[in-house]
Structure 1
Amino acid sequence: MNVLVIGANGQVGQNIVNLLHDSEQHSVKAMVRKEEQAAELSNRGIESVVASLEDTVEEIISAMNSSDAVIFAAGSGGSTGSDKTLLVDLDGAVKTMEAAEKLGIKRYVMLSALQAHNREKWNEALLPYYAAKHYADKNLEASSLDYTIVRPGGLLNEAGTGQVAIAENLERGSVPREDVAKVIVAVLSIDHSIRRSFDLISGDKSIETAISSI
């Protein structure tokens, strides 16, 4: 499967790209915003394309062309304002869904946020971010795409354990970015994860076992 990773230069995105690059099952194209990022990827033998989520749908279609699946792992980042959150995490995400539908790409995996579907559980310090994720996910659910929405808890920069908890609703918790990336890559080829969404934190089950329970 030829997989386009949107947000490939982000911390989770980099993990996803590395896993797909090493995979015997998939190939990867990394979507990045800067030429120097593309050059670094090219030096490692990784295909890339330079595009922005603030581009038009037609420009995103050009970047997405020849892909069989899309992973959305992009975000405006904690240093930007609510305007960028709206333009990237919400409108940018929706534009990629529209592009995938126009190209006839069915498989789409969304990196969301823990309890984004449940307003009563949103982190008070990140309300614009959660609102953007909530409505991006809603749009994805209403689309024709074969989606999976992965909603991880607090993201950690430590080595993955391969042990996770997956469920429709989980209490606050954290999870290494490496494990989030492994779950996202794993669900790509698991048909029973299609049109499903779930929370994800560290737990006591292997990734394979946890995914099989959704």
Structure 2
Amino acid sequence: MTTLVIGANGQIGKQFCELAQQAGTPIKAMVRSEEQASWFNDHGIDTVVADLEGEFEHAFEGCDQVVFTAGSGPHTGPDKTLMVDLFGAIRTADIAKQKGLSRYIMISAMRAEQPLEAPEKMRPYMAAKFAADVHLRNSGVPYVILKPGRLTDEAASQQFASSIDEAGDNQISRANVAHALFHTVQTSSLANQEYLLLDGTRSIGEIIQ
């Protein structure tokens, strides 16, 4: 089963791709340019050049499931949030449905369903995530939605929690999200499930069952 990784060049996506490559898990990294592809090619990772804001249906060829870990980033405006985090995610679900993919694994965000409670500058992003998640749930494609808390650059502890009460905080390292994503990709029986992810004290297998 080959997994298309949309957002492969992002911080979570690249760490996930490394984990998959080391384990021999078949993936295809979708990147925006040949320049970005060079790192993946050097690491023996199959790549496809496609733009989430353009035509990218060809990237799905030969893939059985898709991971969406793309993001417009903190330094862009609401226009990019609309095109990447919202419309890009929606189009991914539509193409996945059209092509009969077995699963769509979404990296969303904790409390995406409550965008008005987010800091003002984060509200467009949260609203985009909320709408994209709703579209995915109703797309007819089997899905898993992972909802990490506030992201940090700490090293992977591979220890998780599934609530703020349990974690005592609202954060999780990008490295831990990558490990959770890898576990989800490898667990093909998971479908139509959603999981809150925070740094904690339990294994990912205890959180994602």
Please give the TM-score of this superposition, normalised by the length of structure 1. Answer: 0.91
Contact 1:90 1:133 in 2 (8 A): yes
Note the aligned Cα RMSD (angstroms). Answer: 1.9
Output the CA distance in 2 between the equivalents of 1:115 and 1:193: 22
In the alignment, which residue of structure 2 is the partner of 1:46? Answer: 45
Contact 2:113/2:127 (<8 A) preserved: no
1:169 to partner: Cα distance: 9.7
Superposition deviation, residue 174 in structure 1: 0.6
Matched residues in 2 for 1:50 and 1:205: separation?
37
Contact 1:169–1:198 (CA under 8 A) maintained in structure 2: no
> Once the two structures are superposed, what CA deviation does each residue of 1:129-165 show, in whole Å capped at 9, x if it has no partner?
0000000000000011110000101111111111101
The separation in 2 between residues aligned to 1:46 and 1:174, in whole angstroms, is 30
What code does the residue aligned with 2:63 have? S
Q: 1:92 aligns with which of 74, 80, 88?
A: 88
Distance 1:169-1:67 versus aligned 2 partners, 3 A rule: farther
Identity of aligned residues (%): 39
Q: Which residue of 2 aligns with 1:129?
A: 125
* Corresponding position: 1:14 with 2:10: no
| 8 Å CA contact retained: 2:161, 2:207 | yes
Matched, 1:194 2:191: yes
2:207 is aligned to 210
Deviation at 1:197, TM superposition (A): 1.1
Partner Cα separation in structure 2 for residue 137 and residue 199 of structure 1: 14
How far is the alpha carbon of 1:195 from its aligned partner? 0.5
Structure 2 matches for 1:172-187, cutoff 5 A?
173-187=170-184
TM-score norm. by structure 2 comes to: 0.93
> 2:34 maps to what in 1?
35
CA drift of 1:179 comes to 0.8
Structure 2 counterpart of 1:4: 4
Moved over 4 A (4+): 167-172
Task: Name 2:57's counterpart in structure 1.
Answer: 61
Q: Secondary structure, in 3 states, of the residue corresponding to 2:162?
A: strand
* Structure-2 residue corresponding to 1:138: 134
| Gap runs ≥5 in structure 1 | none
Q: CA deviation at 1:166?
A: 2.1
Is the CA contact 1:123–1:130 (under 8 Å) kept in the aligned structure 2?
no
- Tell me, what secondary structure is at the counterpart of 1:205? coil
Q: Distance in 2 between matches of 1:4 and 1:31?
A: 7
Alignment of 1:155-170 (within 5 A): 155-166=151-162
Give unmatched runs, 5+ long, in structure 2: none
Counterpart Cα distance in 1 of 2:99 and 2:165? 33
Structure 2 Cα separation of the partners of residues 182 and 163 of structure 1 = 10
Bigger mean CA deviation after superposition, 10-19 or 115-124 = 115-124
8 Å CA contact 1:61, 1:100 repeated in 2: no
Contact 1:112 1:133 in 2 (8 A): yes
Contact 2:116 2:123 in 1 (8 A): no
Name the counterpart of 2:79. Answer: 83
